[in-house]
Structures are given as C-alpha cells and as structure tokens.
Amino acid sequence: MTTVTSPDKTKLPPKVKDPAIAIMIRALLDQFGTLERYQQKYGEIFYAPQSSLFPANVIFSNPKAIERVFTADPSLFEVSQQSNAPIRVLLGDRSLVLLDGVEHKRHRKLLMPPFHGERMQSYGQTMVDITKEVIARWQVGQTICIRDYTQEISLQIILRTIFGLDEGQRYDRLKEVLVDWLAIFNSPLNSFFLFFPALQKNLGSLTPWGKFLRQKRQIREILQAECDRRRQNPNTLGEDILSLLLEARYEDGQPMSDEEIQDELMTMLFAGHETTASSLAWSFYWLHRLPEVGQKCQTELDSLAEAEFTHIIKLPYLDAVVSETLRLNPVVVFVGRQLKAPFELMGYQFEPGTLLLPSIYLTHQREDIYPEPQKFKPERFLARQFSPYEFLPFGGGNRRCLGYAFALFEMKLVLATILSQVKLDLLDNRPLQPARRGFTFTPAGGVKMRVKAIKH
C-alpha cells in the first residue's frame, strides 16, 4: 500500500533558535546589532515562533516582499493586539495606529486634511518663528545638547499647530507634564516597562509605572479641559488641528468622540514630536561630522536670493540630507501587519496570526540598494529615485504615517533656519550609536555641540 503525502503548506523560513525572553531583552538593549546578527546568520527573511511575549513573527528586508505586503488587500491584515499592547498603553485604544479595516479608513480620511496642501503650508511661518525664538537664547561659546533644543522646537511647533497654544498657564502646564512623561522611558532599561506587562504595576507615584499613569491621567485631563473650553466658546476655534478635529464630521454627520479626539492628540503629540526631534539631532550630527556635507548644504542655502520657506523645502541637497538621515538613522525599526488569512511570501506559507515585520532598518542597510550603507552619503538620493519599498522611513501602503509630509517640512525648515543663523561645532566628533527611547531611537547622548558664532 502506497502512502500519498500532501504538499507541505507549513514551510517556514529559517527559525531564530534563541528563547523569546532572550530575543526581547537583546532587542531592547541593542535593537540594530541584534537585527544585523540575525540577518547575517539566517539571511534576508527569518522567523520567530509564537511565545507569551510576542506572536509568531517574520522579519524581512526584500523590497519585492515589502511591495507584496504594502500592495496587498488591507482586509488580509489586522492590528496585532499582542505586539501593539505597549502602543495601546501609551496612546489609547482609539488611536489611528490601532484601528483596523473600515474604521481605520474612515478615521484616516477625517484626519488627512490638516496634514496636506495649503493647510500645512500655513504652518511654515510658525515653524520658522519658533526655531528663531528658541535659538535666540544661545550665546557664543555655549555648549549645548542639540537634541534638547530640537525637542523644545518640535514640541512648541506641535503645541502651536495642533492646539493653537503658544503661551499662558494651559500651555505651560501641558508642556511641563508632557516633557516629564516622555522622559520616563528615555533609557533602554526604563523602556522595559512598556514591553513587559508583568512590570506594569502601580506601586505608587514614585515608581516608574505609577508616575507614568499619574502623568498620563494629567495630560488627558488637560486635553479634555481644552476640548470642553473650545466647545463652550466656539469663537476660540481657530486654524489649529484640535479646532479642525472638533469641527470634523464623519460621512454620516457624526462628530468624533472625546476619546477619539484625545487618543489622536496623544498620537500626534508623541509621534509628531519625539521622532522629528531625534531625526533633526541626527542631521546636525552628520552635517558637522562630515564638514564637506555641511559645506554643500550651507552653499545651497546661501544661494537662495530670498530665504522663503516655499523655496527652502525645494532645495535638492537639503532634501537629500534629510532623506539620508532617515535612511541611515530610522527612528522606528519595523512596520507591522498581522495576518487574518493564509499568505504566501518569498515562497513561504504563513498562517493567520503571524506578524509580518518588514524591517525599515535592514532594508535601508542593503548593499544591493545602498552601496556602502553604513556611510552617510546624501548624493545617493540625487543620483537616483528609490521606490517606496526600498526607502520607507514612514512605513507604507494604506498605513503610511499620516504626518510624513509635516515631518519632512518641519525638518527642512528647522535645519535651514538654524544653519542660516548660527555656526556650530561638533563636540561629539566620534561614531555615535542609536539609543532606545521607548519605541523610538535617538542619538546616544543627544549630540553635544558648541555655539561658534551667531550670524547677523
């Protein structure tokens, strides 16, 4: 009697042999090094089975595979409850990042207008003005940590463009609580609290988790009070994003709920300020670490007859510097899609529940796309155009970061404004490593610089 064997539908890529707890700890302490070692060992696609810490997941960097995921029917995927639990704790259940299917599409459509077109262009002068106000305090000879100032600038830009707040008691209170709240997870060890639910115990306001919950509650109380104030005084509604959210209506005429508005504001405060602050700090590092790059950028800025922001954002070399910063030093490492149905990728068959993780970092480090990938070379972005599956600092597909154009706009204007006003020296003139800051990555030490001269 002969036996008939059915085709193997469980063929999986090379499996990471390390225990789940070891994978998690290594990733929290050295995310980039861990990814590189796994790729060297297992190749351009590898797999970790399901555990109590994370769902079965597959990490890959092949652009064709990324294209297949980004262009697939969105209904094949769902938001992973398990892997996104830390984001839920931080931003709330109704954040766009955590919505699925029709609800995600409906929400995204409502939130799109403030981040595109003329509405966004109107924020340009605000970005320039805030940058000038912050750097006006600098003095020749002063030693500065540039990330502290890019954070100050990006936070003020968010508070003014999203909340329409630029001074007063409400502004000061929100700013103070926000800075303290974001600083709680500013080291790899403190970040463990976000990723290990067992550590999330409220043992009083002096413990990290107790402090986090207390400050999160304070931020939400401030946001709710601001929503109530605007609703009770319609004449206080302006051009800021909060006003637009309060006036926005879904297709059925319904307004956003308070919870939806709060969660979206939390998302914008976190995603729109932490990430841009770190990317700007990396740009200043590279512009001064490589004087020839800084000089080219400066020459291009000096060539402008008028330093109008509409002209600044079109400068090709400045654009290339920003793109190369986002390539070499991405602030997030993965894009996530969890399967709702079986899915074939690179010859492997994956079952529902598997988390597909295109790696932004590993894709940006591919020699076949970016020769000498560890080197900072803006010229590569002048020499050719990269597809959205080769260069993906803001993710891609139907879940591409909503604020990507806002972030690029802000980075270019802040860089151009500071380079035009101040001459800086790099004190951290050595290879800098990325350091974990919760979900995101920032230059370790924040980039120490000295104010060499103030231009008039």
Give the ranges where 56-100 is alpha helix by DSSP (H): 63-70, 85-91
Residue whose entry in the numeric block shows the structure tokens 């090094």? 33
Angle between helices 146-163 and 258-271 (to 10 degrees): 150
Tokens of 207: 């413990």
Three-state SS at 215: helix
pLDDT of residue 456: 66
In residues, how long is the chain? 456
Question: Which amino acid appears at position 253 of this protein?
Answer: G
Of the candidates 202, 230, 223, the one whose C-alpha atom is nearest the C-alpha of residue 270 is 223
Phi and psi based region of residue 168 (left: phi greater than 0; alpha: psi -120 to 50; beta: remaining): left
CA 265 – CA 299 distance, rounded (Å) = 39
pLDDT (tens digit, 9 = 90+) per residue, 379-415? 999 999 999 999 999 999 888 888 898 999 999 999 9
- Of 356, 368, 366, which is closest to residue 397 (Cα–Cα)? 356
One-letter amino acid for residue 378 of the chain: P
**CB–CB of 137/152 below 8 Å?**
no
Tokens matching residue 167: 């001074």
Q: Which residues of 383-414 are buried (b: 16+ CB within 10 A; e: fewer)?
A: eeebebbbbbbbbbbebebbbeebbbbbbbbb
In the chain, domain spans: 20-454
One-letter amino acid identity for 167? E
Amino acid making up residue 434? P
Neighbour tally for 279: CB within 10 Å: 25
- Segment 243-288, tens digit of pLDDT: 888 888 888 888 888 888 888 888 888 777 889 999 999 999 999 9
Residues of the chain with pLDDT under 50: 1-8
Of 406, 369, 433, nearest to 188 by C-alpha is: 433
Would you tell me how many other CB atoms lie within 10 Å of the CB of residue 187? 13
Instruction: Say if residues 190 and 184 touch (Cβ distance below 8 Å).
Output: yes
Q: Among 180, 274, 176, 159, which Cα is nearest to 226's?
A: 159
Q: What is the pLDDT of residue 1?
A: 45
Q: Which residues are CB-neighbours of 413 under 8 A, at least 6 positions away?
A: 124, 127, 128, 131, 309, 312, 313
Best CA proximity match to 330, nearest among 358, 299, 309:
358
In 297-408, the DSSP E strands lie at 337-339, 343-345, 348-350, 355-358
Pick the CATH number of 20-454 from 3.40.140.10, 1.10.630.10, 1.10.1200.10, 1.10.3720.10: 1.10.630.10
CA–CA dist 357, 348 (Å, integer) = 14
pLDDT of residue 6: 42
pLDDT confidence of residue 55: 87
| pLDDT of 3 | 44
- Rounded Cα gap, residues 345 and 341, in angstroms: 13
Query: DSSP state, 255?
Result: B
Tokens at 55, concatenated = 């769902």
254-273 residues labelled b (16+ CB within 10 A) or e (exposed)? eebebebbbbbbbbbbbbbb
- Dihedral angle at the C-alpha atoms of 60, 433, 16, 43, nearest 10 degrees? 40
The pairing of beta strand 448-454 with beta strand 143-145: antiparallel
Q: Give, as one character, the DSSP assignment of residue 340.
A: S
The Cα-based distances of 256 to 92, 96, 136, 259, 384 in angstroms read 15, 12, 40, 8, 42
